[in-house]
Structure 1
Amino acid sequence: MSSSASPPLRFGIIADPQYAAIAPHAAMDRYYANSLVKVAEAIEVFNGEELSFVMTLGDVIDRSFASFDNILPVYGKLRHEALFLLGNHDFSVSAGHLSEVAARLRMPSPYYSFSRPGWRFVVLDGNEVSTFAPPENHPHRALAARILAELQAREAANAHHWNGALSDEQFAWLGDQIANAAAAGEKVIVMNHYPVYPLGAHGMWDSERVVALLASQSHVVAYLNGHDHVGNYGKAGACHFVNFKGVVDTESENAFAIVELHPDRIEIRGFGREQSRTLAY
């Protein structure tokens, strides 16, 4: 079979289940407990498709380390590889559990990368420098407080305690991953919980340097994220920035997607409230 006839690489996307066994927040239209059923519905659809993996873009839970005990078994029904990255609400746990979140999600490390034929997926930890995720007394907490204070002084749109930033070490690692992918002839998709473009209230604190890096590299084709539950889209350089809608929102409507990677475009097939898109590159 010629390579042109090989099927496209396909994977599933879920964003922001924010599961917790608590009452809904009607004013915000968030139904935390209903995410068990919604994630199960998404997995049923995914199981009927040929996928390489399913990525959840953070905020698996809304609060309480015990919430993982209810929602992670739902992922056990998935016949594909279940991958995760870290969201801000995943750290809404007691101080003693902060260092255990990544392991509870069976992540290899808080940020990591993996490859599929012709592609490299770079998974970021946007909570690394934040006021909530690092262990208490960690230098990243103090750094986060300084960054947040500076942003608040400037009245920046993203000057909120529920956002975060990459460490300089992680940012350098991101640059290395992009360079290594170019040397290997791989196209790159970056995944993170936080949006970086277009910049808004939910944007990562160091969005500008991330966008500048990604937009300058023609083989970086997409950045996929959650966090801003209403969804969003933008393009900078050759890179498409796609913010997926949150599962937790609305009482019964779902939101998830299947992404197909073609030689010249990305096809996003949205389900429920999620939008379908064709993104040429």
Structure 2
Amino acid sequence: MNRRDIIKGTGLLAATTLLGPVNTFAAEKTKKEKPVLRVAHITDVHIAADNNAPERFKRCLEEIKRKKVDFFLNGGDSIMDASYDNVKREQVTDLWRIWDDCMQTVNGYEVHSCIGNHDTWWAAPAKEDPMYGKDYVVKRLKIPARYYSFSRNGWHFIILDGNNEHISLDPAQFTWLEQELNGLAKNTPVLLMSHYPILGITPTLVGGGHSDHKKLKDLFYQHKDKVRICLSGHNHLSDHTMYNDVWYCCNGAMSGFWWGKGDKESAGPGYYLETPPGYALLSLYADGRVENEYIPHGF
């Protein structure tokens, strides 16, 4: 299986199948044009002190910087785990301290993050505790809110929070998303990022997908002139699925098998099932085309 898939948005097939004359023309057009943005998508870092994870993560960030990216999208599960009932305050603060230290490697870069299910400490003594829940994660990730949007170079980016009942957008967030898409000019290219896959093959294999995928799919179809690609992580698997001319890219996991060696189902050292640890590089073009390349990092 090719781990360095390059995929084209707006109706093109994967690069390995660009054989016909129409697709060849489209591929040549992409080669001649420069993207308006180069973006790194990292997800499921699950940073911790063991397995030399901090140094390995830092080396990977240095590798990404050499590829001249404009900014980083971080798909959540930044720390190993704050979500279990037995996790103590000291463990949570230590994990975020390690995260902060690692992110000094990309000091000066924009990092736009979403919240993963393992980032939130629910076992705080009380809901009034300043470390309880999502608000603390928002603070630690230095993001404006649990869901938000921004624009760069003609592209609009929407960061979602699927950490709600049955993995979904809460009603207020869905209304906000509707208004966000309605308010954009026609043909504005949009990239959405959720921690969890919205559509794709990986939810069929291992679960963990948005339960409101039909509702979201219908909304995206109403805005098919805008929505180009949906990024996710959570499942630690590389999966590039197109539906209704929208790419749904689950881009593996920086940590692979949680920085470990793997198990009997791992296809190689550090793999989760058939996917090695890695990250994605995206090239975004002015006309809405997008390339998403998953790159195993080997650290």
Aligning the two structures, in what range does the TM-score lie when normalised by the shorter sequence? 0.7 to 0.9
**Deviation of 1:69 (Å):** 0.6
Q: Report what 2:38 is aligned to.
A: 10
Are the counterparts in 2 of residues 216 and 237 from structure 1 also a CA contact under 8 Å? no
Q: Distance in 2 between matches of 1:191 and 1:264?
A: 16
Task: Give TM-score scaled by structure 1 length.
Answer: 0.74
Q: Distance in 1 between matches of 2:254 and 2:97?
A: 18
Q: Distance in 2 between matches of 1:168 and 1:68?
A: 30
Q: 1:244 aligned to 2:280?
A: no
Q: Distance in 1 between matches of 2:46 and 2:214?
A: 27
Q: 1:106 aligned to 2:142?
A: yes
**Deviation of 1:254 (Å):** 3.5
Q: 1:223 aligned to 2:230?
A: yes
Q: Which moved more, 1:92-101 or 1:194-203?
A: 92-101
Moved over 6 A (4+): none
Q: Report what 1:174 is aligned to.
A: 177
TM-aligned CA distance change 1:170 to 1:256, over 3 Å: same
Q: How does 1:124-273 map to 2 (within 5 A)?
A: 124-127=160-163, 129=164, 144=165, 164-183=167-186, 185-198=187-200, 199-200=203-204, 201-218=207-224, 219-250=226-257, 251=261, 254-262=277-285, 263=287, 265-272=289-296
Q: Report what 2:26 is aligned to.
A: none
Q: Report what 1:120 is aligned to.
A: 156
Q: Report what 2:72 is aligned to.
A: 54
Q: Report what 2:10 is aligned to.
A: none
- 2:184 counterpart SS class: helix
Are the counterparts in 2 of residues 19 and 62 from structure 1 also a CA contact under 8 Å? yes
Matched AA of 1:52 = D
Are the counterparts in 1 of residues 238 and 294 from structure 2 also a CA contact under 8 Å? no
**Deviation of 1:234 (Å):** 1.7
Higher relative contact order (CA 8 A, sep 6+): 2
Identity %: 26
Q: Report what 2:7 is aligned to.
A: none
Are the counterparts in 2 of residues 191 and 225 from structure 1 also a CA contact under 8 Å? yes
Q: Report what 1:21 is aligned to.
A: 49
- 2:136 counterpart SS class: helix
Q: Distance in 2 between matches of 1:51 and 1:181?
A: 25
Q: Report what 1:26 is aligned to.
A: none
- 2:185 counterpart SS class: helix
Q: Report how many aligned residue pairs link the two structures.
A: 227
- 1:241 counterpart SS class: strand
Gaps of 5+ in 2: 1-31, 83-91, 262-269, 271-275
- 1:215 counterpart SS class: helix
Q: Deviations over 1:212-262 (max 9, x none)?
A: 211332210000000111222222212110001012224456401211012
Q: Deviations over 1:69-121 (max 9, x none)?
A: 10222111114212211000001453232231111111111000000121100
Q: Which moved more, 1:198-207 or 1:77-86?
A: 198-207
Q: Distance in 1 between matches of 2:43 and 2:78?
A: 8
Q: CA RMSD in A?
A: 2.3
Q: Deviations over 1:133-187 (max 9, x none)?
A: xxxxxxxxxxx3xxx5xxxxxxxxxxxxxxx21111101111111122235x521
**Deviation of 1:38 (Å):** 3.4
Gaps of 5+ in 1: 23-32, 130-143, 149-163, 275-281
